[in-house]
Amino acid sequence: KSPKTPYGTLAEAGVLGMTLTEEQGGLGLDETDAALPLEEAGYAALPEPIVEAIAALPVVAAHGGGAWAEKIAAGEARLSISIGDARLVAFAEQADVFLRYDGKKLYLAPREEVALEMQVSVDRTRSIAVPRFTDEGATVLAEGAEAAELAALVFDRAALGSALFLNGLSRKMLELAVEYAKDRVQFGRPIGSQQAVKHRLADALIALEFAKPLAYRAAWSVAVADPERSLHVSLAKLRASEAARFVAKQSLQVHGAIGYTIEHDLHLWMKRAWALAAAYGTEDFHRDRIGRA
């Protein structure tokens, strides 16, 4: 049985393996079904590789990695992703296996065969490292053109998952700011009654509301293999990243001095937003991909 942790609880509920087919031990659902769980994971700032699991498991299970897929879906193992020129891998310390694409082949590398040079992240709940891979103990899933195609699909799924996670983070940061604006009193009245504070919160809400439908559209595009899948994913990830950074800034301004300390929980969501904005394609990367499309 999976351990009694948030990760294990998600596994027992079928969330981690929800995009696997029923024959593979999953729920037979798709990215549109995964959208809300990923958003809620962001709302909770879940410090677990749920994005990676949902993004990679369908490919892993369908191309010879069934044993690992079963363990990950059951909450008994964690997976990290290293695709292309990405220098860092996330959840490095927690990962039991890495999905790696080196430009030639897509393979699974067990943790004991990967050398990790640990790095310091602004988000201390999400360990990062520079990995050094070898072929020892690797399970090759695909090579050549097929590997490139599958790696691109995993990347888009992970970027989509990150966008949905970011939207959940933004919703929580906005809620924290609204509640604080109601409770904090200055000059005999709540600061939320001040027009300048109201405008900040309204602008933050607008940023989030414009990001959410782009992520839902991208989820649908990935689920149905829309030819413009990558474009829609980039639109979603770019807008979610921009919105999360904007909402974080406005929430920090509303909180004032307490927002700059670790005594308030706001920093947990802000730091995750800053880290995820650069994950699976920076804003510049996705802006360029949109421009090329």
Per-residue pLDDT tens digits for 89-112: 999 999 999 999 999 999 999 999
Residues 201-218: what's their mean pLDDT? 98
With residue 127 as reference, give the H or E element that holds it: none
Q: Is the pLDDT of residue 2 over 60?
A: no
**Alpha-carbon 160 to chain mean position:** 8
* Percent of the chain surpassing pLDDT 70: 99
Query: At CB < 8 A and 24+ separation, what contacts does 26-32 make?
Result: 26/57, 26/61, 26/73, 30/222, 30/223, 31/157, 31/160, 31/219, 31/220, 31/222, 31/223, 32/216, 32/219, 32/220, 32/223
* Lowest-confidence pick of 2-6, 188-192, 221-225: 2-6
Instruction: Name the pLDDT band for 287 (thresholds 50, 70, 90).
Output: very high
- Structure token digits, residue 146: 């097929």
Q: What is the pLDDT of residue 291?
A: 98
Residue type, 172: K
pLDDT of residue 90: 95
Average pLDDT (76-94) is: 91
Query: pLDDT value at position 72?
Result: 96
Residue 218 token pair? 């991208």
When comparing pLDDT for 194 and 221, which is higher?
221
Model confidence over 228-274: pLDDT tens digits?
999 999 999 999 999 999 999 999 999 999 998 989 999 999 999 99
Mutual orientation of helices 50-62 and 66-73 as an angle, nearest 10°?
150
Quick one: pLDDT at residue 30?
A: 95
- Kindly indicate the confidence band of residue 3, based on its pLDDT and cuts at 50, 70 and 90: low
Can you give the pLDDT at residue 136?
Answer: 85
Mean pLDDT of all residues belonging to the chain? 94
Residue 191's pLDDT band (cuts 50, 70, 90): confident
pLDDT at 85: 75
33-56 confidence digits (pLDDT tens): 999 999 999 999 999 999 999 999
Pull the structure tokens for residue 272.
């995750």
SS3 72: helix
Say which residue, 5 or 211, is predicted with more confidence: 211
Q: What is the mean pLDDT of residues 4-18?
A: 91
Spell out the alpha helix ranges (H) of 184-282.
Answer: 195-223, 229-255, 266-277
What was the pLDDT predicted at 5?
A: 85
